[in-house]
Amino acid sequence: MTSSRRNRYSGGMPDRLKGKRALVTQCSAFMGPALVELFEREGARVVADDRDLKPDGACEGAIAAGGELDVLVANLAHPPVAAAVEQIRDGDWHALFDALVHPLMRLVRAAAPAMIARRRGKIVVMGSAAPLRGIARNGAYCAARGAQNAFVRAVGLELAPHGVQLNAVAQNYVKNSAYYPDALLKTERFTQHLERNVPAGRVAEGWESAELALFLASDKSDFLCAQVIPFAGGWA
């Protein structure tokens, strides 16, 4: 991280989530570490949950354990499992939907009633820009992430009249252990790929994506509903 980017991170307004109770799912994976660090820095009481959300009742259990939530961050990840369409295996297809799509629905289904009753709440989905543009040989992954986006757009419209905002961060080319680990970023092949494909010319730091999620989780985003916001350095 350059010194200028580090300074922007440390110099933000404090307490933007002061007094808010926020649940971050799968807190040690994908964007979890960056989200927990920033949300706590900004005054949130973070419930960092790391349970496997695929088993029956797991999502409902996470919401119940979170208590009275002001913010739910659905942070879900699964390896892309690249394959041409004729080589997609049923097991890989189901694994992607089991990890990315079904838990999202269950988390929102469990969290929404209490938020609707209080007429306030924020739900932020840490998603992907992949389905916004499409990636060849990644049809299964794009389909699962696209299902997340469609869910956000539809259910966000349902929740908005009740004072609850559901939005998604559709990211790509952001540092994280699930998709863009340091070992990958250091390879010459990836550096060349980045130069050809990403107008911003770099990979984002994890805190940069977390900053967008924080805005969506804050009271400053009350007019944003059912949006899937690209965060990909101009790639999408």
What value, to the nearest 5°, has the Cα angle with vertex 98 and ends 147 and 109?
65
Encode pLDDT of 57-93 as tens digits: 999 999 999 999 999 999 999 999 999 999 999 999 9
Q: Looking at domain 15-230, what is its CATH homologous superfamily?
A: NAD(P)-binding Rossmann-like Domain (3.40.50.720)
Please say whether the beta carbons of 23 and 66 come within 8 A.
Answer: yes
- Cβ proximity of 198 and 192 under 8 Å: no
Average pLDDT in the 96-108 region?
98
Per-residue pLDDT averaged across 136-164, rounded?
98
> What SS3 class is residue 30?
coil
Q: What is the pTM of this model?
A: 0.94
Q: Residue 8: pLDDT above 90? A: no
The helix or strand, by DSSP H or E, that contains position 156, with its residue range, turns out to be helix 139-159
164-171, strands of its sheet edge to edge = 45-48, 21-24, 71-75, 121-128, 164-171, 228-231
Find all residues with CB under 8 Å of 227, minimum gap 6, and list them. 152, 153, 156, 167, 168
Q: Answer whether residue 188 shows pLDDT above 50.
A: yes
| First-to-final CA distance of the chain | 23
